[in-house]
Structure 1
């Protein structure tokens, strides 16, 4: 699965970094980095992170322009 984070929308709440720390990392107070290709063992964590994002900045699977599988 592929993901895209709208970094203009992201407000640095870091819910994603708490829920999927192997994919999302917060550097400093608001600089988010992430792995666009999600490892299979992290799929559920990333889906949870996308759902938990207060500003819905994370697009996953087909929403990100890639296959959902």
Structure 2
């Protein structure tokens, strides 16, 4: 699975970073950085929670 980020929707709140810190990081400018586009099996649950928890719906999982 891959992570798709809609930068126009992302506000850099950081909920995704809190739920999946090994995959998401909000930088010093408030921009979301996806640390790895490919989601490993180990990170799938936390990434799914982060995608579902995004209040602006800026994140999606793609096959």
Q: Which TM-score applies when normalising by structure 2? A: 0.90
Q: 1:36-55 residue pairs with structure 2 within 5 A?
A: 36-55=37-56
**CA apart distance, 1:30:** 1.1
Aligned to 1:26: 26
Moved over 2 A (4+): none
Give the equivalent residue in structure 2 for 1:6.
Answer: 6
- Alignment: residue pair count: 62
Gaps of 5+ in 2: none
CA RMSD of aligned residues (A): 1.0
TM-score by length of 1: 0.83
Q: Return the structure number with greater helix share.
A: 1
